[in-house]
Amino acid sequence: MFWAIAIVLILLWLAGLLTHIGGPVVHILLIIALGLIIYRLVKGKRIP
């Protein structure tokens, strides 16, 4: 579930970047997605 959210956020960022829609919102999505990925990697625990 976590990885799905991160992937969706990155895909939305790419779509916004390529179509120039959303302005600074696309960069906020990227920061949130990268933050979630880094948090998950640092924590290192798996959710059953």
pLDDT bin (cut points 50, 70, 90) of residue 35 is confident
* Stretch 11-23: mean pLDDT: 77
* Stretch 4-15: mean pLDDT: 81
User: 6 with 33: CB under 8 angstroms?
Assistant: yes
Whether the predicted pLDDT of 48 surpasses 70: no
pLDDT given at position 33: 79
pLDDT given at position 38: 85
Whether the predicted pLDDT of 34 surpasses 70: yes
Largest CA distance in the chain: 39
Helix runs in the chain, H state only: 2-19, 25-43
Q: Which long-range contacts (CB under 8 A, 24 or more apart) does 28-35 make?
A: 33/6, 33/9
Whether the predicted pLDDT of 25 surpasses 80: no
